[in-house]
Amino acid sequence: MRAFWKLTVAEFKLFIREPLAIFFILAFPLILLWLNGSQGGRIDRLLPGYVALILATVGLTQLPSVLATYRERGILRRLATTPVRPATVLGAQLVVHLAASTIGVALLLAVASAFYNLPLPRAVPAAVFVYIAGALALYAIGFVLAALAPNARTANAVGFVIYFPMIFLSGAVIPREALSTSMRRIGEFLPLAPVVTALRDAWSGTGITTLTLAALAAMIAVASAVGIRLFRWE
């Protein structure tokens, strides 16, 4: 356990040295908040989407790149010969990326509350549950990307190719109600859509539907199973 936490601290220090990651996790959601808030947009409806945006940034772009880099450089293979097993690296990565997401969300909520007087979710326990479930679902998909990518560069490129259309079609940046019918139908089938929907339901206190929860559970189960089956340690 001591080795795990030492590794987690070391990984977190490495994570915060990535300027692109810091921008998309901390700055990008705040820029969107400011742009829509200054134009009188319904940022109370947009805020849950921005939370999902942070989770997608970490899960689809950062996590696959790190894991693919470690495999490409032989770090996982070398760790397999030490008391620090590769599974410990995965656990540390999960903690680090969840911590980074939470810092980004906390900053977003603090700014939204201080400058735009936006309230916290009406159903706080439900919002926390959905936040964790959404993070696990998107991180599991990132694990699949890392498993399929032959190298770190490919993992990074594929992650961003998936990331940008998804955040615009799933309601994370633009509400799906503002999209055309055809685009809205496409967005409903993307993995980020149930995360956005569940967070919006928790924020409004209307109750999260069984279908949305089932979609999150299915993503976690299927993506985790596929990632474990396909991931190569060297």
Task: State the pLDDT at residue 41.
Answer: 58
Residues 160 and 56: beta-carbon distance below 8 Å: no
CA distance 193 to 204: 17
Task: State the pLDDT at residue 21.
Answer: 86
Residue 132, CB half-sphere, CA atoms under 13 Å: how many? 6
CA distance 68 to 154: 9
DSSP 7-56: HHHHHHHHHTT-HHHHIIIIIHHHHHHHHHHHTT--HHHHHHHHHHHHHH
In angstroms, what CA-CA distances link 185 with 182, 188, 196, 197? 5, 5, 15, 14
Task: State the pLDDT at residue 175.
Answer: 86
Q: Locate tokens 């936490």: which residue? A: 5
Reported pTM: 0.92
Quote the Cα angle for 29-125-195, to 5°: 45
pLDDT above 80 (res 220): yes
**pLDDT, tens digit, for every residue of 170-181?**
999 988 888 899
| Torsion-angle region of 14 (φ positive above 0: left; ψ -120 to 50: alpha; else: beta) | alpha
Ranges of each domain in the chain: 2-230
Q: What share of the chain is helix, strand, coil (3-state, %, to 5)?
A: 80, 0, 20
In angstroms, what CA-CA distances link 182 with 177, 187, 211? 11, 9, 21
Q: Locate tokens 């189960």: which residue? A: 221
pLDDT above 90 (res 86): no
Percent of the chain whose predicted confidence (pLDDT) is above 70 = 95
Please name the amino acid found at residue 4: F
Helix, strand or coil, per DSSP, at residue 190 = coil
**pLDDT, tens digit, for every residue of 32-56?**
999 887 665 578 788 999 999 999 9
Instruction: Find the helix packing angle between 210-230 and 124-148, rounded to 10°.
Output: 30
Task: State the pLDDT at residue 6.
Answer: 84
Quote the Cα angle for 131-135-167, to 5°: 95
pLDDT mean over 59-74: 89
CA distance 231 to 234: 9
CA distance 231 to 94: 16
